[in-house]
Structure 1
Amino acid sequence: MRTELDPDQLDRTAVYRLLTSTVVPRPIAWVSTVSADGVDNLAPHSFFTISSVTPPIVQFTSVGRKDSLRNVETTGQFVINFAPEPLFEEINKTATDIPQQVSEFDAVGVRREASARVTAPRVANSPVALECELHSTLPLGDCTVVFGRVVRFAIDDTVLDRDHPEVTRLRPLTRLGKDEWGTLGDVRELRRIRYADWSASS
């Protein structure tokens, strides 16, 4: 037996809760930007993924018109800072509706560092930063998808296994439903099977 729901018969909040409780876990783009007035902004966005490898393009979705979106539209630049478990409290606090003229870096006490290619600062204690230049935006309903071309990878040596970021060192934090967050948990490794080897492995 299933509960069947028609999204056209639900209000926006109900649809949002269903989507964010079932599309889980979601990686977090901790997006840093700079306003036209020079105020640094920092906010988490959990509608986030890779769009292209060549060229390297990532995307995050602004649900409504957030400061991150306005700043990206103005400056054409932003940084995706990796959201690690040890910074859980800080990440959550930067989701607060802090006034536009106040920097979340300063209000929350997040340490910043200069980026190499873009004006927006990086989160100094985040193990990975993807410096991005705006590729394009796509309005979809009450949201806007932001596509950014990665122009610089900045990776802390402590999370690298040779040249590969190692997931147990990264300790990614994810968003779930309601006020729930997820941590890494068990890691299982299973290689893909080539079709040529399919019969032999069955």
Structure 2
Amino acid sequence: MATYHSFDPALGHGLPHDPIKAIVAPRPIGWISSLDSAGTANLAPYSYFNLFNHKPPILIFGSEGRKDTIRNIEHTREFVFNLATRNLAGAVNQTSAVQPPHIDEFVLAGLEKTPSTKVAPPRVAGVAAAMECRLVQVQQLTDAAGVPIDTHLVIGEVVQVHIDQACLVDGLFDIKRAGTIARCGYRGDYVEAGETFEMLRPGR
């Protein structure tokens, strides 16, 4: 029988590092591009990110703190999700640094921009996939007692999808060929997409 290390997060975990992010891992990375009111591009990765609906496709990411990305999206009501992959991992990491609002992270990371089709923010040139989104809502989180916390959820509807043809194998998007990466629990830990296995739901 297993024995468990149990703890209340509010009281501390008693371990060398907080294990919660390591338990909920790997987490997809939302590499989000946006524009400010002056038209300056912003690019930042968010590891609190995922797809939460299929029809229509709904993406959600969480930002701890009201960062430039949040302000930009609230103003323009548009953003782009760029897929984070192994060949661009260094640039993903570089764009995670806190910069003044007037800094264009595309330029800082040496990335080229590609115009989007339906929204104003550009996408990262050369990414394996990107999704253009329009804002549904920005929601500030609260704790269980209803006290607001400094984290905001951005909910967006996907209105256009772009896929590098080289990442399609027999008409299916191949995450291994794309080199999709995800965030793991501890400082500096990432994982690259590897082996997959098939398990169909009953009745399929």
TM-score (norm 1): 0.89
Residues 101-160 of structure 1 deviation map (CA, whole Å, 9 limit, x = unaligned): 110000110111100011100001111110000011221122111110111001111111
Residue matched to 1:182: 191
Residue matched to 1:116: 117
Partner amino acid, structure 1, of 2:162:
A
Question: CA separation in 2, counterparts of 1:194 and 1:51?
Answer: 23
Residue matched to 2:58: 57
Residue matched to 1:6: 8
Structure 2 residue corresponding to 1:149, chosen from 157, 164, 182: 157
Q: CA deviation at 1:192?
A: 2.8
Partner amino acid, structure 1, of 2:172:
H
Residue matched to 2:48: 47
Q: CA deviation at 1:34?
A: 0.3
Residue matched to 1:171: 179
Give secondary structure in 1 for the equivalent of 2:88.
Answer: helix
Instruction: State the identity as a percent.
Output: 34
TM-score (norm 2): 0.88
Q: CA deviation at 1:10?
A: 3.5
Question: CA separation in 2, counterparts of 1:185 and 1:126?
Answer: 18
Q: Tell me, which stretches of 5 or more residues in structure 1 are unaligned?
A: 196-202
Question: CA separation in 2, counterparts of 1:9 and 1:53?
Answer: 38
- RMSD of aligned residue pairs (Cα, Å): 1.8
Question: CA separation in 2, counterparts of 1:56 and 1:191?
Answer: 22
Q: CA deviation at 1:162?
A: 4.1
Question: CA separation in 1, counterparts of 2:81 and 2:87?
Answer: 17
Query: Runs ≥4 in structure 1, deviation > 6 angstroms?
Result: none
The structure richer in helix per residue is: 1
Q: Tell me, which stretches of 5 or more residues in structure 2 are unaligned?
A: 142-148
